Structure 1
Amino acid sequence: MTGRQTALWIINAALLISVAALTVLGGVQLLIKGRPAPVALADQPDLRQAVTEAAATNTARILTYSADTIEQDIAAGLAVTTGDFAEYYKNFTETAVIPAAKQKNVKTTATVPHAGVISIDNPDTATVLVFVNQVVSSTDNPQPNQQGSSARVGIHKVDGQWRIASFDPQ
C-alpha cells in the first residue's frame, strides 16, 4: 500500500467512525428527549383544587368573627395557621382585634368568591391569590358595610392539613 492509499483508508475509517458515533448520539438524544415530561405540580387538578379550597376556607376563617363569640372565632382562626404567621395572628388578635371587637361590638363575615394558584412549590407548599369580600358592622356603623380586597396567601400542609403560613394583603 502506498502512502496515498493509507491516507485515504484512514480518512474513510475516520468518517465511518464519526457517522456511527453521531448515529448513536442521535439515538440516545431521541430516547432521552422523546419521553413525555412529568406533569408539573401546578397542572395537577386535584392538587390545584385542594390548595385553592384550603386557602379560601382558611382565609374566611381567620377574617370572620363576632364580638359575641370572639374567643372561639379567633381560636378557630388560629387552628388553621402555622409557623411565624400563627404567632403573628395570635399576638395581633389578642392585642388589637379582640379588644376592638368587644368595645365596638364588631361583627365581620368574610367570604372568598374567587381564588387562584400562583405557584405550587412542592406537594406541601403553595401560594394562592384570594379575593375577599367582607361585611362589617359595629356600634359606630350598625349598617353592614361591604368591602372587597385581595391577599396573597402562602399555605403549608402540616399533619395532613393545609394551614396559612403567610398572609399578604395586595
Structure 2
Amino acid sequence: MRIPGRSSSERPASCGRTSGCQRLGRALHCCPCHSGVSRHVCNAGHQSIDRPGSPGTFSPNSISAQIAEPSTTFIVAESAGHLVGFAQLVLGSAHVLVGAEAAAKLNRLYVHERFTGRGIGKALLRRSEELAASNGAFTLWLTAWVGNHRVLGFYASRGYTDLGATMYVFQDEQFENRLLATPVRAPTET
C-alpha cells in the first residue's frame, strides 16, 4: 500500500527499527514548558513523563517489547527512508464502553507534524482498520484527550462515534479522554 506523498510507504515495524519509533514519539511530544522532560498526552489518551536517559514509553527496550507482543502490530510510514508516522494496534483489547464483542484498540497513531495533511494519518488508520477486521475484530476503538480538538475532529471525520468519557489518572492528576469507536466489519449471523 502506498502512503500519499512523494516516495512514501507503509510497512510493519520490526525490532531493528525501534529507535525510529522512539525518536518520533519523543519528537512529537516534547513540551518546552517542562524543561527537559517530555510530557505527552497522545491522541490515544496515554500519558507518560520521560526524563532524558530514563526508560519510558519510547525507550528502545519498551518499543522492542511492544513490537514483540503477539497481540500488537506496529505499522510505520516512511518517506525517503525516514520514519514519518506510525500506528500501534492491539488485538483482543476490550473496554466496558465498547461492549463484549471482539474488539481491537488503536493504542497510538502518530504523524510527524511536518507530514500532517498529506493523508498519512488516514492511510495508517485505514490499514489499522483493515488489520483489525482481518484478525477477527468487529470494532476498533481508541481514547483521545478531550482537549485535543484536532484529533477528535480527525476521528469524527473518519466515522468514529464518541461512546463516552474515560478518566486517566497520572501522578494524582485526572485527565478526561473520550472513547471513540467504529465498526470494522459486521458480526456474522448464526
Q: TM-score scaled by structure 2? A: 0.23
Instruction: Give the structure with the higher percent helix.
Output: 1
Q: TM-score scaled by structure 1? A: 0.24
